[in-house]
Amino acid sequence: MHAEDVDCDRSAVHVKPWRAGADAPFIQIDGITKRFGDVAAVNDVSLDIWKGEIFCLLGGSGCGKSTLLRMLAGFETPSAGTVRIDGQDMAGVPPNARPTNMMFQSYALFPHMSVENNVAYGLRREGLAKAVVADKVKDMLHLVQLDGLARRRPHQLSGGQRQRVALARSLVKKPKLLLLDEPLGALDKKLREETQFELMNIQDQLGITFIVVTHDQEEAMTLSTRIGVMDAGRIVQVGEPREIYEHPGSRFVADFIGTVNLFEGRVDVAAPDAMRVMTDVGPILVDPVQGLSARQEVAVAVRPEKMRLTRKQVDAANSLPATVQDYAYMGDITIYKLVLEGGRTLKVSVANGDGDGAPITWDEHVFVSFPTRAGVVLTA
Amino acid sequence: MRRSWFLWLTAGLGFLFLYAPIASLVVFSFNESKLVTVWGGFSTKWYGELLRDEQILGAAWISLKIAALSATGAVVFGTLAAYVLLRVGAFWGRPVLRGMTTAPLVMPEVITGLSLLLLFVSMERALGWPAGRGMMTIVIAHTTFALAYVAVVVQSRLVDMDDSLEEAAQDLGAGPVRVFFDITLPVIAPALVAGWLLAFTLSLDDLVVASFTSGPGASTLPMVIFSKVRLGVSPEVNALATLILAVVALGILLAGLVLRRR
Amino acid sequence: MSRRWLVIAIPMLWLGVFFLLPFLEVARISLVDPAIARPPYTDLFQDGVFAGDFENYKLILPKYFYGQDNLYITAYLNSIRIALISTLLALVIGYPMAYAIARAPEPWRTVLLFLVILPFWTSFLLRVYAWIGLLKGNGVVNNVLIWAGVIDQPLVMLQTDFAVYVGIVYTYLPFMILPLYANLVKLDGALLEASSDLGASSAATFLRVTLPLSLPGILAGCMLVFIPAIGEFVIPALLGGPDTLMIGRVLWDEYFRNRDWPVASAVAIAMLLLIVGPILWLQRSMERA
């Protein structure tokens, strides 16, 4: 992104309206529930999403994220709750009359139509003039870099090209809200990474609000303005990617996003400058947290990259002796699996810098240290 | 591999069993002699006799008309039945409809034939329609039992079809009727063609149901063949069989070529 | 909503009128008496009074229970016997064929499959008719056997149960082969290699791996042969003797020869209960398994 873009950009990515709470939210989901028989696939979910956001619904399979998306598109009728898009209540509005479009996980390209007819299908339903349709299709195919493939059939395209046709088809009607169901799920890793940035770029140009369903946390981290983590039909945490990663609200979120070392324990002393938590590996010092009582059960979460690994003991708030059980060299970093006294294991990642000295290896006795701010105290 | 030749031998005998009768039909259709089992020299005279046989030609024409009409009817109603069973969601009569589209597959033909005949007789008495039996009643009967076969073929295609295709069209602004004609129908079209051909063949082949539901003046080809064959073997029928075989083989060959080109 | 019901109503109405209603008619007429009239039966309600009875059903019962003779029970049991034997024969002939096709290399596989399906598209009646010429006293089979010196006198094959078995197996063999083929072609070759790698002989591999895995195909094929065979009319009528009684043929004769519509209806209802009912039940329990 160029510097001047940032300057004049007023999109949600930069304004962050959810922080200020100034404008009214563009999409208001209020207490929405979907029951299939006795099972609540989506259970009392409320969400506010602002114009221009890329909002990711992140969760494992069966967590209800796809059902929530299908309720927004109108394919499922909520058992309770309301959805408002741009102030308009969506209850009883069929999918073909909603200001939303969807990009399907399977792409759902019409196999008997050419690329251009696939893209034009939605515009023709609006009864636009032929020339207008042709122009819009041409522009859209250009935007997704598919010029020259207009007359191909879907089965003559590569996976990445099909993905872009599906995107073009769902964007061409300029919906108020675009729903994307695992948009990059069918692509291989390399293509997925490239496409992520392309997707963000297109969204930025068109200013359409995206809601993306994904099970891939990296994808969610890269794409989204905010993430809603779902588990068992409920939203367990909503926040910006950094917030979710650095300040997970619960053991589930901490464990689901990235790798984490969790230490279960009780609050021992709550001092003004540091708080001590008694855990199964001994006392751990963390930054003080408001509203905790003594002896309250908590967990301390520490990310592997926030820990330091040294051969000699260093001066740090927390320092634990350990033995290297195993390690995996990943190129940019090395991940160590360590055994503490008492038998529990830890994961620590070490950046491979200029390679000063011999790297730490199997069976070495080492010290794991981390500052008070590295530990996140979790009560849920 | 000792088991290999045993396998090929048994399979070879199986194919001999499948094709020996057909080969004998073809060979004896060119027999000069009227005795179907004694070779009396090569001749095409039975083909000439066949082409002069008004009864057989008339019956063949009636059969073709009935088959075309009932296959078309079966495709329309069978596709609707399959669509209703798989796409319109739950409704109170669905188990009944499911039963009515599968039961004809296991129904002995004599029962189908008798029951439809009795219905036509009673309807004529009560409503005055259908006035007498003939082509119309055979078409209705064939449509009804071939419909079940079409429904099976179309249902399996609908099950294979990605549901999100229809959802995508709806999402892009198409109403249910549009979705059906724009998306569902073109995608399942191969199944409709296959179903039509199947229904056409079933109708063309049927003796029992047609015998029960036909009336005077509406004798189908199988009915005529059956009455001729009951009187004894006739070389004319051999010639007819050879012609049918040639048409079918040619048709399948052409279909294969067309499919390969696509 | 009304358009949805229209779509539902069309197939429902058609099948209701032309499939369900006819059975009610059959049930009604099975309760009345034959009459010399047009149509040849009495009314179920005469002067507003119910005039039906179960006399027609009593008539078709075995002699042991009130019946006239054992014609119907014999025909019923015969149908089951003939259908069962034919199904087994079709399995024995069809299995190696299906197996060979499934194991054949690709261009051959398509050709062989085509050869199995081709007869199905030609006239069923004419294929049965072909066997008359083959099985006759002076027919092709007898001539070949005498020429080869296997027999001195022509065998009597036409108008016997044997001819009916041949006709049924011949007609429905593709229905046996196709599901078997569909099952066997999916059989993972690695399973067979694993079995022989673990020390099984090829016979043991077949009995312990191939055969159990192809059981669904066997069941499907057997059902597809047994179901049409049991109600068959044309094959026993053309190839069977006067004593080859099958239930479909008995019903046909009752209607076309004796013109006894009420008894024909009673036979139809009995077939429905004793043949179609069990088959439907069997199919459903197989689907659940």
- Is pLDDT of A119 > 90? yes
- What pLDDT digit, counting tens, does each position of B7-44 carry? 888 888 999 999 989 998 888 888 888 776 677 788 88
Taking CB atoms within 8 Å and a gap of at least 24, the contacts of B19-23 are B19/C115, B19/C119, B20/C134, B21/C127, B21/C130, B21/C131, B21/C133, B21/C134, B21/C170, B22/B241, B22/B245, B22/C119, B22/C122, B22/C127, B22/C130
Q: How confident is the model at residue B120 (pLDDT cuts 50, 70, 90)?
A: very high
Q: Which residue in chain C is spatially nearest to B39 when comparing CA positions?
A: C140
Shortest distance, CA C25 to any CA of chain B (angstroms): 6
- Is pLDDT of B58 > 90? yes
Instruction: Quote the percentage of chain C above a pLDDT of 70.
Output: 99
Q: In which residue ranges of chain C is pLDDT below 70?
A: 1, 67
Two structure tokens written together for A29: 């989901």
Q: How far is CA C111 from CA B94, B254, C91, C115, C185, in A?
A: 41, 15, 21, 6, 15
Contacts of C286 (CB under 8 A, 6+ apart): C219, C223
Whether the CB of A36 is below 8 Å from some CB of chain B: the reply is no
d(CA A357, CA A333): 16
Q: How confident is the model at residue B261 (pLDDT cuts 50, 70, 90)?
A: low
Whether the CB of C134 is below 8 Å from some CB of chain B: the reply is yes
Half-sphere exposure of B84 (CA within 13 A, CB side): 28
Q: How confident is the model at residue B259 (pLDDT cuts 50, 70, 90)?
A: confident
Nearest to C123 by CA among B146, B206, B74, B230: B206
Which of B14, B21, B125 lies nearest to residue C96, judging by beta carbons?
Answer: B14
Q: Does the residue B74 lie in any domain?
A: yes
pTM of the predicted model as reported, rounded to 2 decimal places? 0.87
Provide the domain limits for residue B83: 53-231
- Segment A149-165 shows an average pLDDT of 94
Contacts of C109 (CB under 8 A, 6+ apart): C101, C102, C185
Q: Does the residue B26 lie in any domain?
A: no
Strand A209-214 with A54-58, pairing: parallel
Instruction: Quote the percentage of chain A above a pLDDT of 70.
Output: 94
**CB-based contact B66:B138 (threshold 8 Å):** yes
d(CA B62, CA B54): 12
Residue C18: list chain B partners with CB under 8 A.
116, 119, 140-141, 143-144
Q: How confident is the model at residue B262 (pLDDT cuts 50, 70, 90)?
A: low
- What pLDDT digit, counting tens, does each position of B134-150 carry? 899 999 999 999 999 99
Which of A97, A108, A169 lies nearest to residue B164, judging by beta carbons?
Answer: A108
Two structure tokens written together for B209: 């149901």
Stated as kind and residue range, the H or E segment containing A128 is none
Q: Does the residue B40 lie in any domain?
A: no
Termini Cα distance of chain C = 37
CATH of region A259-378: 2.40.50.140
**CB-based contact C168:C124 (threshold 8 Å):** no
pLDDT value, residue A1: 38
Nearest to C134 by CA among C152, C115, C154: C154
Shortest distance, CA A110 to any CA of chain B (angstroms): 6
d(CA A19, CA A353): 37
- What pLDDT digit, counting tens, does each position of C67-99 carry? 677 888 889 999 999 999 999 999 999 999 999
Can you identify the CATH homologous superfamily of domain A3-99+175-252? P-loop containing nucleotide triphosphate hydrolases (3.40.50.300)
pLDDT value, residue A13: 63
Residues 89-148 of B with CB under 8 A from A: none
Two structure tokens written together for B140: 């209705």
Residue C11: list chain B partners with CB under 8 A.
77, 80-81, 84, 97, 101, 147
Whether the CB of B131 is below 8 Å from some CB of chain C: the reply is no
pLDDT value, residue A224: 92
- What pLDDT digit, counting tens, does each position of A173-208 carry? 999 999 999 998 888 888 888 888 888 888 888 889
Shortest distance, CA A54 to any CA of chain B (angstroms): 20
- Segment B90-94 shows an average pLDDT of 87
Contacts of A238 (CB under 8 A, 6+ apart): A47, A226, A227, A228, A229
pLDDT value, residue B84: 94
**CB-based contact B63:B204 (threshold 8 Å):** yes
- Domain C70-258 fold: MetI-like fold (1.10.3720)
What value does the mean pLDDT of chain B take?
89
pLDDT value, residue C1: 54
Residue B172: list chain A partners with CB under 8 A.
96, 101, 121-122, 125, 169-170, 173
Segment among A62-66, A272-276, B118-122, C216-220 with least mean pLDDT: A272-276
- Is pLDDT of A4 > 80? no
- Which stretches within A86-216 are classed as H helix? 115-125, 130-143, 159-171, 189-206
- Is pLDDT of B193 > 90? yes
pLDDT value, residue A355: 63
pLDDT value, residue B8: 83
Termini Cα distance of chain A = 39
Q: What 3-state class would DSSP assign to B204?
A: helix
- Domain ranges in chain A are 3-99+175-252, 259-378
d(CA A309, CA A180): 42
- Is pLDDT of A3 > 80? no
The count of structural domains within chain B is 1
Whether the CB of B205 is below 8 Å from some CB of chain A: the reply is no
- What pLDDT digit, counting tens, does each position of A344-359 carry? 999 999 988 766 678 8
- Segment B210-220 shows an average pLDDT of 90
d(CA A200, CA A208): 11
Q: Which residue in chain B is spatially nearest to C278 when comparing CA positions?
A: B106
Strand A209-214 with A177-181, pairing: parallel
Residue B21: list chain C partners with CB under 8 A.
127, 130-131, 133-134, 170
- What pLDDT digit, counting tens, does each position of A60-115 carry? 998 999 999 999 999 999 999 999 999 999 999 999 999 999 999 999 999 999 99
Termini Cα distance of chain B = 40
- Segment A232-244 shows an average pLDDT of 94
The residue that leads in pLDDT, C172 or B229, is C172
Q: How far is CA A104 from CA A146, B164, B167, in A?
A: 19, 7, 9
**CB-based contact B136:B69 (threshold 8 Å):** no
Q: What 3-state class would DSSP assign to C30?
A: coil
Q: Does the residue B29 lie in any domain?
A: no
- Domain ranges in chain C are 70-258
Q: How confident is the model at residue A11 (pLDDT cuts 50, 70, 90)?
A: low
> What are the start-end ranges of the E strands in B78-163?
none
Q: Does the residue B105 lie in any domain?
A: yes
Residue A111: list chain B partners with CB under 8 A.
165, 187
Residues 48-87 of B with CB under 8 A from A: none
Sheet holding A261-270, edge to edge: A282-286, A275-279, A261-270, A297-302, A376-378
**CB-based contact A377:A275 (threshold 8 Å):** yes
Chains A and C touch (3+ CB pairs under 8 A): no
**CB-based contact B7:C96 (threshold 8 Å):** yes
What value does the mean pLDDT of chain A take?
89
d(CA C145, CA C167): 20
Contacts of A189 (CB under 8 A, 6+ apart): none
pLDDT value, residue C43: 84
Whether the CB of B178 is below 8 Å from some CB of chain A: the reply is yes
Whether the CB of C264 is below 8 Å from some CB of chain B: the reply is yes
